[in-house]
Amino acid sequence: MKPATVTYPSINNIKEVSLLRSKRSKFLARLAFIGLLIAATVAFFVQVPTTGASKIPYFDKYVHVGVFFLLSFTLHQAFALSGRVSFLLLGLYGLLIEIGQNYIPGRGSDFYDWLADAAGVIAYFSLVLLFKQRKKNAN
């Protein structure tokens, strides 16, 4: 009886599997970014009824920071853009949202909402830089 031979994947196959995983991850990240972008756009243009959350001071600003933090994360995962380009794109998106809200009955633009948008982007990319520096210092 002949012993069974064990074959191990070649380096090329490992690279191919890694590349496929990378492509799938990018695709999913792009779907997440587009979905979040659409959801955020709709949410920012819809008239929101007053709720108990509005009793929390500056609650809407926290929402803006959180949404733009998540948009930054998904944009960063989905596309190979620098922090500056991402900041410019998301900053422009936030500005357009605020301008557009002027034309929605019951809504209005607020400069501080736009600053909160920018703060969310800055917070995300600040964390990215912090983790990169820690990783670099650990090696």
**What pLDDT score does 108 carry?**
82
Inside any domain, residue 123: yes
> Is pLDDT above 90 for 49?
no
Domain assignment present for residue 132? The answer is yes
68 is in which domain, residue-wise?
A: 32-47+57-138
2 within domain boundaries? no
- Confidence band, pLDDT 50/70/90 cuts, at residue 4: low
Within-domain flag for 3: no
Residue 47 C-beta-side C-alpha neighbours within 13 Å:
7
108 found inside a domain = yes
The total domain count for the chain is 1
Return mean pLDDT, the chain: 85
Q: What is the pTM of this model?
A: 0.80
Residue 59 has a pLDDT of: 85
pLDDT tens digits for 73-131? Answer: 999 999 989 989 999 999 999 999 999 998 888 788 889 999 999 999 999 999 999 99
In a domain, 134, yes or no: yes
The residues, any chain, with a CB within 8 Å of residue 13's CB and separated by 6 or more, are: none
Contacts of 66 (CB under 8 A, 6+ apart): 120
Q: Does residue 19 form part of some domain?
A: no
Backbone angle region of 106, left / alpha / beta, with phi > 0 → left and psi within -120 to 50 → alpha:
left
CB atoms within 10 A of CB 136: 8
pLDDT at 45: 86
61-86: b (≥16 Cβ within 10 Å) or e:
bebbbebbbbbbbbbbebeeeebeeb
**In a domain? residue 4:** no
Q: In the structure, what pLDDT confidence band is assigned to residue 2 with cuts at 50, 70 and 90?
A: low
Percent of the chain whose predicted confidence (pLDDT) is above 70: 79
